[in-house]
Chains A and B, each alone.
Chain A
Amino acid sequence: MKNAEPLLNEEELLDDLFEIAGRRTEDSENINRPPLSAFKDSWMRLKKNKGAVISLIVLSVILLLAIFGPYMSGYKYYETDYSVAYQPPSGEHWLGTDKFGRDQWTRIWEGTRISLYIAVLAAFLDLLIGVTYGAVSAMLGGKVDNAMQRVIEILVGIPNLIIIILLIMLMKPGIFTITVAMVITGWVNMARLVRAQIFKLKEQEFVLAARSLGSTNKRLILHHLVPNVMGLIVINMMFTIPSAIFTEAFLSFIGLGLQEPLASLGVLINDGFQGMRNHFYLLLYPAIVIVGIMVSFNILADGLRDALDPKMRK
């Protein structure tokens, strides 16, 4: 039997005719998926939560209406017109008018602005005072921590509402007083949480490493510890916001918050409540808006907690 003629000669058998079937080192080391930051990862998880997404949309709509709403009807929130008092919702006044003939649509969105201002303020104070106070207290420890905790203990010992009411009596009721009251009481919870968390973290090796590389306390807190408690901070902030909005509305409702002709949702609900027997729409619409804001913030906070801290998921 004759040997079969080879299809190719030795010289023609070149390397580039062959392909590597298995894994290639440079490919296996390649990162195929785009890198996922902690933020993107949380965002992806949040997007899967239907309730949170709907809340986000509702809040965006409310925000837009709060920004543009007061200009849409062409009336001012303090503009009275006694000839059109107590008009039910119509084409002219979309949500009707109150006892002084003021346009309810404008007043509601004007009031929503107040609520959103309170929300931003609460979040800001939580971050600025709460996180700083908690972090400094935990970081310095010892006598400083002890003294700082005594202050917190006293603040926690008094119901928040009492502090706020006493302050309001001392100063004039209004948005400034509520702001001051929140500066005093609003950050305590956050400070306690952050302190407890940083106490746990500061004994860990990465802090020791950073310290031995010469990090100052300030750098340790800002670059090493706070990023590690960021999830907790965001979650707590999201729960502070609705309770701050509630407090303002509550105070305005019992007549200690904003005063006429300024409108806040609490003031509007109180007005509506006084006249609900005959003019129920005056109560209904501000109630819907505040419930919308509160429910959305709460669901969003729940969603964020699940997204940022999967361990806490239940």
Chain B
Amino acid sequence: MKKYLFVRIINILITLYIIATATFFLMKQLPGSPFDEERLSNLSEEQRIEFYAKYGLDKPLSEQYVLYLKNLVQGDLGDSFYFKGQGVSELIAGRIGPSALLGFQAVLLGFTLGIVLGIIAAFKHNTMWDFSTMLVAVLGVSVPNFVFAALLQYYVGLKLGILPVAFWESYSSSIMPSLALSLIVIALIARFTRNEMLEVLQQDYMLTARAKGLSQFKVIYKHAIRNALIPVITILGPIVVSLLTGSLVIENIFGVPGIGSLFVDSIKVNDYTTIMGLTLFYSAFFVLTMLVIDLLYGVIDPRIRISGAKE
């Protein structure tokens, strides 16, 4: 176990190093700098030199690279080119709140609703209930999140006018984006719960539980759901990925000041350092989540022995 963890962490560090390096050199290759010649042309020659010196752009590439890595190890992602005078790390830290709130609410809503729908579908197998739940599941997986978000904004925000459309003011602003983000979670979880429940319901221990006189609720809660939900961990990975991707576009649509919209905005204005920082941030988050999920496998299902992780 310890050895496995060690190897994994080394692997993660190597991956992150490769990403950092690749991002750095990619950024340097990019056409157009954040200081366009047009914009710089109103500066005098001295000002320009001072400008380049300030951001270390006058040094040779290798030196910039070493400096970048040195700062990176200390958690300093450099200064943003666009948001003057702000460090990228602080920028991310200041923006992470709304994103975390949305992600948390989406997961909460997605799991609750998904599990409830899945259980209903499994118990009313091959009825209208089952059919409509599966319809929701297929739609949730198929409908692109930005289409759903746009339609939600049109019908709920504009037509009904009950929720704010694109301002981040009060708690109610977070409802629609969370809903939009949770659609795919609901779909994945509902479908998953249904299939697992159908399997669990046929097990002998379910018959035993009923035979010994447990109430319907206890049978479902203590015996069926628990066993059905153990493998839920296998779809956590896809869920995390879809939440990350979803946040990029949904935060943009609803005007949420989170890291997703920061990423898209910084791409649009060529804010290199912020893009690099966010790329690393996303990658680190992603890789660490995958590690946690893999470790959870072992905790939840001891049959999966991690130490012998050879296929």
Closest A residue to B279 using CB positions: A162
Contact (A159, B252) CB under 8 Å given A283-B150, A291-B147, A298-B141: no
Interface assignment of A257: CB less than 8 Å from any CB of chain B? no
Assembly CA distance A231 to B12 (angstroms): 34
Stretch at the interface among B23-31, B82-90, B106-114: B23-31
Stretch at the interface among A78-86, A100-108, A242-250: A242-250
Which A residues lie within 8 Å of B282 (CB)?
A: 159, 162
Q: Is the CB of A157 within 8 A of B26?
A: no
Interface assignment of A166: CB less than 8 Å from any CB of chain B? yes
Secondary structure at the A interface, as helix, strand, loop or mixed, is helix
Q: Is the CB of B143 within 8 A of A159?
A: no
Count residues of chain A with CB under 8 A from any CB of chain B. Answer: 38
Contact (A254, B15) CB under 8 Å given A280-B154, A295-B138, A314-B199: no
CB distance from B54 to the nearest CB of A (A): 23
Assembly CA distance A164 to B234 (angstroms): 25
Closest A residue to B25 using CB positions: A170
Identify the interface centre among A249, A254, A255, A277: most chain B CB within 10 Å of its CB: A254
Interface assignment of B239: CB less than 8 Å from any CB of chain A? no
Q: Is the CB of B283 within 8 A of A159?
A: yes
Q: Is the CB of A159 within 8 A of B244?
A: yes
Q: Is the CB of B150 within 8 A of A276?
A: yes
Contact (A314, B195) CB under 8 Å given A159-B282, A162-B279: yes
Q: Which of B19, B139, B158 contacts A277 (CB 8 A)?
A: B158
Q: Is the CB of A170 within 8 A of B29?
A: yes
Contact (A166, B279) CB under 8 Å given A254-B252, A295-B138, A295-B139: yes
Assembly CA distance A302 to B244 (angstroms): 25
Interface assignment of A17: CB less than 8 Å from any CB of chain B? no
Closest B residue to A287 using CB positions: B147
Interface assignment of B120: CB less than 8 Å from any CB of chain A? no
Secondary structure at the B interface, as helix, strand, loop or mixed, is helix
Which B residues lie within 8 Å of A253 (CB)?
A: 144, 146, 249
Closest B residue to A293 using CB positions: B142
- Binary A-proximity of B120-156 (CB < 8 A = 1, otherwise 0): 0000000000000000001101111011001101100
Assembly CA distance A290 to B30 (angstroms): 32
Identify the interface centre among B14, B139, B144, B199: most chain A CB within 10 Å of its CB: B144
Count residues of chain B with CB under 8 A from any CB of chain A. Answer: 46
CB distance from B156 to the nearest CB of A (A): 13
Q: Is the CB of B147 within 8 A of A290?
A: yes
Assembly CA distance A294 to B146 (angstroms): 13
CB distance from A311 to the nearest CB of B (A): 13
Which B residues lie within 8 Å of A277 (CB)?
A: 158
CB distance from A71 to the nearest CB of B (A): 27
Interface assignment of B33: CB less than 8 Å from any CB of chain A? no
Q: Is the CB of A166 within 8 A of B23?
A: yes
Q: Is the CB of A299 within 8 A of B144?
A: no
Assembly CA distance A255 to B268 (angstroms): 8
Q: Is the CB of A287 within 8 A of B150?
A: yes
Closest A residue to B286 using CB positions: A159
Interface assignment of B102: CB less than 8 Å from any CB of chain A? no
CB distance from A57 to the nearest CB of B (A): 17
CB contact list, A271-314 vs B, under 8 A: 272-273, 276-277, 280, 283, 287, 290-291, 294-295, 297-299, 302, 314
Top 5 A-B pairs ranked by shortest CB distance?
A: A294-B142, A157-B15, A295-B142, A273-B150, A314-B195
Residues of B within 8 A of A (CB): 11-12, 14-15, 18-19, 22-23, 26-27, 29-30, 138-139, 141-144, 146-147, 150-151, 153-154, 158, 195, 198-199, 241, 244-245, 248-249, 252-253, 264, 267-268, 275, 279, 282-283, 286-287, 290, 311
> Can you list 22 contacts pairing A with B, beta carbon distance less than 8 Å?
A154-B15, A157-B287, A158-B19, A159-B282, A159-B286, A162-B279, A162-B282, A165-B267, A169-B27, A170-B26, A250-B144, A253-B249, A256-B267, A269-B147, A273-B146, A273-B150, A277-B158, A283-B150, A287-B147, A290-B144, A291-B143, A295-B138
